[in-house]
Every structure is written in structure tokens, then in C-alpha cells.
Structure 1
Amino acid sequence: MTEKLYTRPDLTLTLDEDGVIQKVVTAESLAREPLDQWRGRRWGETIEPAIGNAVLKKIEDGRSRGDPSCFEVRQRFPSGLELPMEYTTFSFGKGGFIAIGRNLEAISELRARLQLAQEARERDYWKMREIETRYRTLFDATTEAVALVNVSDLKVIEANFRAARNLYLSPGEPFLPQLSDRDRRALAELFEKARAQGRAPGIVIQPTPSAGLWSLRASLMNAENGPVFICQLTPLREPDHSGDQKGVSFASLIERLPEGFVVVDRDGLVRAANGAFLDLVQVGAETAVTDRKLTRWLSSPGVDANVVMSLIRKHGDLRRFQTRIDGELGQSTLVEITAAGDDAEQPNYFGLLIRDVSHAARPGTAETSEDLSFEPLDDRTLEAIVRMSTEVIERKAIQQALDQCDGNRTAAARQLGLSRQSLHAKLKRYGLERK
């Protein structure tokens, strides 16, 4: 029951067992009302409309059981004034009962004001959503590298695609950690001016040893979680390697590869992709795949993107791994994946070379995602190849058993010849607990 906090009541009526008013006590707000006229009258005659059967039943039940009852009515006063009142009645047994009334007019007005405030808040919320959508569109569409930096610890809160790709900025990491001492002092002065004046003149820095010279501008913005710096970085000139034989444009080479190539981070989000990969997933622009999960297109049970990254973490790389990749328009292509991480111990990024092998499928052979074959031996040890293959097959068998048993783990364990505890351990190992 919702608790009601009462101060002094506005009206107290003492009634006999027939509902006839015997005594009236009022607060100062009703002191001018000639309420002595009510004595000897039935309480129901003073209420507009008269007390209904439901209210009478409440009063009667409260009188017979000794429990208080509570209800709202519209009280008519001798002067003609009508007020919404909330009454709580307490029974005295055969001696009658008492009714304590509270004026709800102020509460009704407060409710109306709260309703208006709620409507205004909802309008403001949708305006903020619209502004946020526009900000997000501009944030992602700008050709500049843009990052939001926390004022307190100078860590990146958010970075757009160009800042992540060209300057390796990512949320939660320090802002431009590879600066020289001179550039770091210039950056500190820039932030100090932005903190004091709201914005600061641009400076020229070299964000990384290989990034060349960039112009950096900073301004201060108040956000929901505190003030942040908006940092805009623009290269002073694009690198020109035309006269340098060693200046190889890797981005150009990867873009021209006839095989699909995609870079994903440790969360499975696509960070970069070439045109051949876009053709495989049937999208027209790189921005349509950036910051989206690779599992959207590589999602077959037992051979999805999470399995690929797990195998790379465990074995260092992955070679000629066959699966299917699904396009946005419904096309499913048999592919072969060769992949590696950027670090042998703890990779943060994974590069996947995805080759279309559907044309090389043998006649009469079913091209399904269940052909989880590896090229014989590669240069691995036999033990490593067997372990990799076993993990993929075991994961797929568990997923199929769960699908056949409609997610019933006990039935799936029985079908696989495992105990429920063993199945639970394998589900946790292969990341299938939430599926």
C-alpha cells in the first residue's frame, strides 16, 4: 500500500452509526464556512454527487470489520464551494465513526503541473535525440579526425573513423601518447587555454612518429558526465611517396587486392575493409560496415567470427579456414579465411583475408558451412591441426544438439553423451552460454 503523508486534516467529521453528522472540526482554510448547518444532516446529502453504493459498502465494511477505509468524493459546502476531498474513516463500533478529510485541490493542481512538466521533458528529450542524431552524423561524416577527450584524465571518450584509423585513437586510451616532449608541452598549453577561454588557437604537432605534421584545434564542451575537449586534427599535407621507392602505400595495395580483406578489433567490430570484402557482403560503401560486428555476415554456428578470433588468439594465426559469408541481399558465398592478429600474445586487431572459393567447389559436393576443412597439414604440427579441427567440430556439434533440443541443456547433454556439468563447461568455453 502506498504510504500517504498527512499534515493537519482540513475537515474532521464525527458521525453516528447511521451516517448523521454530530460534530465538525475544520482547518483555518475552511473556517469561514458555516459548517454548523451540517449537524443533524446525513453526510451523503453534503456530497455531490451523493455517496454511491461502492462508497457506502466501503464504509459499512470498515464499520463491521473495524478497518479504516479510504475514498475520494466531491464535497459541497454551505457557501456553494465544491472541493475534491479524500476521506479516511475509522469505526467506533456501534458508537459511529469518524471521517478525516483532506483537500485534494492543491494535489490536483500539482498533478496537472507535473503532467505539463512531464510533457515538456519529453519534448526536450526528443529535441536532444534529434540534436544527438545530427551530431552523430556530422561526427562520422567529417573528413577530419575528431576525438572527444575527458578533461580530468585526458583519455579518449570517443573517436570517429578517421581518428581511429589514422591516429589509432580508441575509447579509454590516453590521447596521443606518442607525442614528443616538445609537442606534449604545446598540447598541455593548448588544453589550458581551452579550459580557461572555451577554445584555443590551433597548434602543429606530430601525433605519431610516422603520421607527419597535423594541425590540432581544441574547444571545451559541457557534456552529461562533465566537461570534455573536442579535438579536431587535420593533416597539413598528405604523404607523398612518389619519389621514394620505400614509400609503399599499403592502403592502396590492400584496396586493390582481388580477395576480401577486413580488419576487426578485439570486440569483433569492423575497422577497415577493402572493396572485395564489400562485394562479398553486398554493400556499396566502407562506412556501411565500419563499427559493425563481423558476426553480421560471418555467423554460422561453430564457424562464426568469434571462433575465428578465438583460434587466432590460441594458435597465433589461422590458415585456409572454410566457412560461409552471408551478404546483405541474401547471397551466401563459400569462402576460405586466412587470418592473423597484430600481436602474437595479446592481439588487439585481427586482419582477415577472405577468399571466394565457391567456384572451386567440386561438382556434386554440397557447399555448406559444415565443410569445415583445413588444407592438409600446412606448416603446423599434426597435434595443432587436430586440436583446431576438434574444437570447431565439437562446438558445432554442441550447437546442433541445442538447436534440436530447443535449448534444453539436459536433453542436449544426454544426446551428446555428456553430463550436464560437462556440457555447461563446454558452453562456457565456446561462448555459447547466452545462445
Structure 2
Amino acid sequence: MASKSVHADITLLLDMEGVIREATLSPTMAAESVDGWLGRRWSDIAGAEGGDKVRRMVEDARRSGISAFRQINQPFPSGVEIPIEFTTMLLGDRTGMIAVGKNMQAVTELHSRLIAAQQAMERDYWRLRELETRYRLVFDAAADAVMIVSAGDMRIVEANRAAVNAISRVERGNDDLAGRDFLAEVAAADRDAVRDMLAQVRQRGTALSVLVHLGRYDRAWMLRGSLMSSERRQVFLLHFTPVTTTPAIDDVDDDAVLRGLIDRIPDGFVALDSEGVVRHANQAFLDLVQIGSKPAAVGRSLGVWMGRPGADLSSLLTLLRRYKTVRLFQTTIRGELGTETEVEVSAVDGEDDQYIGVLMRNVARRLDAADDHDALRQALGPISKQLGRSSLRKLVKNAVSIVEQHYVKEALLRSKGNRTATAELLGLSRQSLYAKLNCYGFDDKGVVASAADGAEGASDDAED
């Protein structure tokens, strides 16, 4: 016991009732005075939370001779609270107990610092993730063509959508330039100039821009580059600016006005090349396919979003080659976030056979409203025949009953027979819904099943 008390920061001698008879502090805690503890129960001076732990330690020592280690925040007469880990042991002659405590303040502070460091690391991690996300969004949405090329082997590490379009080697389902030899994408006559420019960038950090021609159409671009260091290698950041002839002022104004009008059309509009790849899109089309920026849509096949992947686009292109114009072409547009929208397509093939204009109108609401209106009008048809045979009050009552039955059935169909969802759609309590179902003799499962049978029959008739 004596050896343990030497290494302890606080030692309490207790009687069998847990009353403190003697208290000893180590030199490291000599600044505290505990004379006021003598004659008091240990549980009474251990604080509100520590008192229960103290009682359990005393009880454990009485029963088994020694208690488990428990940490409490021990209040001292000076007003400070120090975290101390105690264990309680029964004396050999069972005349009392001894409680030995170790000051855990340093450990607690170290643990707090560890938690704070972990939280700081987590915050730094999420800041890094946020910066990476912002970089990715800016990189992909940038209208200018940007590439990252390995300085060692001149392989393309990364390219944004505008750079992919600049290369103009977009294949359906394969528009990734990563891993390709950058110099192979440059016209042969310009490769030496590009090598010289990149050599100057490597030596001096900067160089004058050079004129290059890229892709199968040999489009002209001004190329400038800079050298960056990544984790394991150096890379070139290449920026391409298109070289275009300056049109007349009137042409600039007219083109800007026309482009602005197209962008503000409430229906989706896209300009495609002869293979069905998007070259221009307005905001309404971006909303249909649930994409935030034009560069993210340009260069991708329209068939990615239309009806059956590839099939509906092939049908549309075949009709355009044959008739040059297409009207009232029905299909479905699938958005990037999973929505499906019924659309009506009108399209025209350009005079040079290079571009195709496609206009898409959302008809989902119109079709739903028309079907609903026709069904309700058909249900109300017999009421008009009762004019002159029944009083106005009875006609109105019958009409209200038919309208009510129609919308109860419609709500059952939309909720697929779920009565709770049906009641929410109608703004009724479940008891009121049950009353109306009983009144009109509706069976929710029967309504859904009959609607499904009707849909299958309509599909069979269409196939016949």
C-alpha cells in the first residue's frame, strides 16, 4: 500500500461508510488544501456527477475488496475541478478503505489537444475537397480549351470539355483524351514550333504564344503554356484561344441578337452535327437534361438523353436524311438526375448538311391535362341529358358526386392504392377517405388493378 501511495497524487483513508478520515496530497498538488474534507463523506464532496461513481467504488470495495478504476472531476476547496482517476481498496483488517487517485489533467489536456488536432485535420480535409470541387467545376465549365500535359512524355493528363471539342475526335461513349499523345493531335507542320515553345517554358517559365492547328478539321488556335509541379511530376498547363476572322460590325450584332433569342426560347433547342453530337444548346435544353453549363453538354451525343439510348436519335436522323424536316416526333428526355420528360420534337436539316436544328417542347403537362379533362368530360356527359328532367339542385348534386368520384379514383391511381398518400393528395383525413370509398363502393386495390389492365389492353391494341 505504501508503495502505491508514493506514486499517487491523492490518497484518501476512508471508514467502511465512505467517510474521509485522512487525506494526503502529493507535492505536485501541494498548492491545494483538503483539511475541510476530513469527517465528510467522499460522495458528498465528489460533485453531482462524481458522487454516483464514488458510491459504486465504495460498494465494490466492500463486496470484492477492490474497485475498478473510475475517473471523476474532483472539486477542491479552492474551486478548481481536477480530473482524477481513483480506485478503492479494502484494508486487510476490514476497518476501512483506502482510495488512491492519479491526476489525469495532463492526459485530459493531451486528449483535448488530440481531438482539436483531429478536428483541424478534418476541417483542412474538407477545405481541400471543397477547393478540388471548385477547381473541377471551373475546369469543366470553362469556355476556353484547357489541357494538362505531362512534361516528361507529353501525354495528356486531363482536358476539359472545350479541349475535347477542339480536338474534334469525339466518339460516342468515348470522349476522354487522357493518355493520348498531345503532339499527335497537333498538325505535323506545327509540332516543331510547339516543342520549341514548351522547351522555353521549361527553361524560363514563360514563352510567346504560337499558332497551332488541332484535330481533323485543322482548326487554328493560339497556344500558350506554363509549367506546374504536381505530386510526382511536372506538367504543362496549356491554354488554347481560337483564332477567328473578324466579321463586320453588322454581322456581329445580328449574330449576337439571334444567339440571344435562341438562348431565351422557352422550348429546348440544340444544334447538332451530322452525327447527332451537340454543338450548341440553349438554357431550356440544359434544364431538360439537368446540366448546369453549356460546355458540359456540348460534344456529347443527343442520344445519351433521348428515349431509348441511340435508337430514337437514329430514327430522327434517318427521317431527316429522307425528308429534311421532321414534325411532332414523340420521345422522352432523361435528365442527368433521373427525371423523364415527354417531349415533342421538330427538327430541320441545314442546307450544308453539317448542322441540324432540333426544337423540343415539353408536352407532359399538356398530355396529362388533356387525358384528365377528357375523362372528366366523359363522366359528366350523362348529366346534360338530365336537363329538364331533374331540378337544378339535383343536377348540381349529381355533378358534384361525379367530380368527387373522378378525383378520388385519380388520387388512388397516383398513389398506387396507398390510402395514406391518397388522403394527403385529396386533403382529407383517413376517416373521411374511408367514408367516401364506402359511399362510392371503391376498392383501392381494384381501382389500381383495373387501371393496370386497361393500360395493358391499350398497349396490346397499339401493337395490333
TM-score scaled to structure 2, two decimals? 0.46
TM-score scaled to structure 1, two decimals? 0.49
Pick the structure with greater CA Rg: 2
